[in-house]
Amino acid sequence: MTARPRVPGSAPDKMGTPAQGSAAVAGPSDASEGAEAAPLDSPAQTGSAAEAPPDDGRGPWRPSGQARAGEPPTRAARYRQDLRNWLLQGLADRSRQHAGPHTQPAEEHPRHRWWRVMCLTGVDYFSTLGYQPGIAVLAAGAVSPIATLVLVLLTLFGALPVYRRVAHESPHGEGSIAMLERFLPWWAGKLLVLALLGFAATDFIITMTLSAADATAHIVENPYTPSFLHGESMLITLVLLALLGAVFLRGFTEAVGIAVILVVIYLSLNAVVVAVSLAQVVSEPHVIDDWHQLLVNEHPNPFLLVGVALIVFPKLALGLSGFETGVAVMPLIKGDPEDTEAHPRGRIRDARRLLTTAAAIMSVFLLSTSLVTVWLIPEKDFDPGGPANGRALAYLAHDLLGGAFGTVYDVSTISILWFAGASAMAGLLNIVPRYLPRYGMAPSWTRAVRPLVLIFIAIGFLVTWVFDASVDKQGGAYATGVLVLITSASLAVTLSCMRRDGDGHRSTRRMVTFALITAVFIYTTIANVFERPDGLIIASIFIITILIVSFVSRAVRAFELRVTDIRMDDTARRFVAEAGCVGHNGEPGGNLRLVANEPDSGDEAEYRDKEAQVRRDAHLPAGDPLLYVEVSITDASEFESTLSVMGVDRHGYRVLRLTSTSVPNAIAALLLHLRDLTGARPHIYFEWTEGNPFTNFLRFLVFGVGEVAPITREVLREAEPDRSRRPAVHVG
């Protein structure tokens, strides 16, 4: 028995002609190989087609509703097929092509000036003015302006610096979730991302339902609204959500122009309302004195007043929404002509301008609207069912400027709130395809828009019903989602500052600053959760659902090929070329035979014993060349990866060393690649794995190893349906 297969010196340097119509993978054992170890591909083991019932004279059996051969399909079958085609239209990998404001556009999509993109993120951010002042008064009473001031300071000196750093770290719209994923590799990072996706889903879903509920409040309270709509808030909210879903089912693209118009009109009308309200305060200065006296009576100690503001301001945290969105829309920013995807310096600079300008505008409006609503609106009107509940600025618009202007303001508010729901829907359609399919944790149909739209609208209906279409009841859940995302961003930035730069330095001052900001947001999040646990409950439901669906999907998709590219070095290609062109006794045109080997000591005896065992069990002639295949696992939590193949000569034995995330999938991908590369049908030889099969299957799902032989064969079977072209798997 030779230590190394003899190869004639005239072996060709080039591969054989690839087989035509190459697929992604697999093949049965030839009948002539019956003397070898029993292949897993034999019909007895794979299972032939199900035996049909005996012929009863009425023709071949077929499932109910299926047309006979040559017959046109039934009407019901056509309807089902048309519905399926419509739902899955545009099914593709949407991890880089998404359908709305929270997107990373394809290269052919237009980019815009930063201020126009700011309007796109502003439909989510600025629209909170529709309900923020009313929720602030309900949450903090007369202290709401002080608590709002704390929120503004946290916005300008906390959230804004954090997201300016996030913009620098993720200029392609990945956001803070992707930053944390990079810091926590393997399954820890995946589980953290799944948990954050639960909070992000809470944020976006509640944005949709809360915005629709507040738009309903503006519709119902308008004096020109027909009386039959009063008391129908639930129905109106569901209709608005249904219309939102209909738009996305029809098709929705980045609507920067619409966003610019909506934001300019809305902010202009709000500026008018605030200006007129301040003029009213000047004409009635006693309202300020009344407010001041109320504060003194309730909180005579100014330090206690500040303490109360610090305690209650987390309830106002929904006014922080929009920062994560501002980073997500970065790819739509034009930047500088010399920008590249690797170094988009102009885009980063303009994104920071976007974030700073939006935060400044929102801070001015938050503080001014909080003051005028407390000064001019009786506190009882903020109560649930009151005319100012959920629409404080609209109340002032009608009261100070008349019904006509108030109606215009209502229409503008309803429009931007509804468009904010569209922004949130687009965010959901961005998040799911960006992460879950890449993890193997979502079915392939989640790459299509329409099925996801139907699922998200159904969830929106359920949330609206649970919260009775109430703006006030949903505020806590919304704030929880927003705060968790901002807290995670603060943590990601803090970890980023802990890394040393190329010169080995790091900024301790920045690290400490961002750590303090993170601590503030952690306190804010915890305080909000304890005060209003609805958000945590909803997020927990989303997280549990995402985890269950994700791991079930991962198990179902475990037998996919999962290799995005194969890179072989020159030595590996030479080994394959020589082994594939040499047969028994050095004759050309032999089979390509590979032996799966789990590396142990790596000495000559290991390979010598392995060769002897394989040749004995499979009855292989001594002259047939063998290639050894060894797989090293990198990060088993990754679903798709590039397969690296390196040729190594170990003590005269030729070894193909593979680096991938899963042993069976890597071997299957290699076999198919070699089949297409050489034109020869590969044969792979395994040993049975010791241990419980179920335990080994779990090891495969989590660690990428385990029951290698049958799983390799199953991956090949799914990838290559043609048994005559499927690489053969033998187990001895």
Q: 447, 93 in Cβ contact below 8 A?
A: yes
The helix-helix angle for 144-154 and 302-312 (nearest 10°) equals 60
- CA–CA separation, 34 and 38 (whole Å): 7
Positive or negative: CA dihedral 441, 445, 450, 454: negative
Paired strand residues for 731: 686
- CA–CA separation, 481 and 431 (whole Å): 14
The helix-helix angle for 175-183 and 471-498 (nearest 10°) equals 40
21: its two tokens: 């119509």
Please give the distance of CA 143 from its chain centroid, rounded to a whole number.
39
The whole-number pLDDT of residue 127 equals 86
- CA–CA separation, 456 and 458 (whole Å): 5
The whole-number pLDDT of residue 228 equals 81
72: its two tokens: 């046109």
- DSSP of 435-495: HTTTTT-S-GGGGSHHHHHHHHHHHHHHHHHHTTT-HHHHHHHHHHHHHHHHHHHHHHHHH
The whole-number pLDDT of residue 597 equals 84
Tell which residue, 725, 576, 728, has the closest CA to residue 655: 576
The whole-number pLDDT of residue 230 equals 80
The whole-number pLDDT of residue 194 equals 81
- CA–CA separation, 400 and 534 (whole Å): 36
What is this structure's pTM?
0.70
Amino acid letter for position 396: L
Q: Is 631 helix (H, G, I), strand (E, B) or coil?
A: strand
**Residue 621 phi, psi (nearest 5):** -60, 150
**Residue 596 phi, psi (nearest 5):** -75, 125
Mean pLDDT by 10 residues, the chain (732 residues): 36 39 37 40 39 41 45 71 69 39 44 85 85 81 87 90 88 77 75 82 84 87 82 88 84 72 93 94 88 82 80 73 78 82 86 92 92 89 81 90 91 88 76 72 70 87 87 78 86 81 67 89 85 80 82 79 83 82 52 81 79 81 82 78 84 84 85 84 82 71 74 84 85 78
The whole-number pLDDT of residue 589 equals 52
CA distances from 336 to 106, 172, 550 (A): 18, 15, 40
- Residue with tokens 């020109």, as numbered in its chain: 224
Positive or negative: CA dihedral 211, 213, 214, 219: positive
CA angle 587, 589, 593 (to 5 degrees): 100
Q: 80, 234 in Cβ contact below 8 A?
A: no
189-195 contacts, C-beta under 8 A, 24 or more apart: 189/637, 190/439, 190/637, 193/435, 193/439, 194/441, 194/543, 194/546, 194/547, 194/550, 195/543
Amino acid letter for position 412: S
Tell which residue, 714, 652, 475, 587, has the closest CA to residue 4: 652
Taking the CA atoms of the chain, what radius of gyration do you get in angstroms? 32
Spatial CB neighbours of 581, under 8 Å, sequence gap ≥ 6: 11, 12, 16, 588, 589, 590, 678
Paired strand residues for 500: none
Q: 424, 208 in Cβ contact below 8 A?
A: yes
Q: Is 721 helix (H, G, I), strand (E, B) or coil?
A: coil
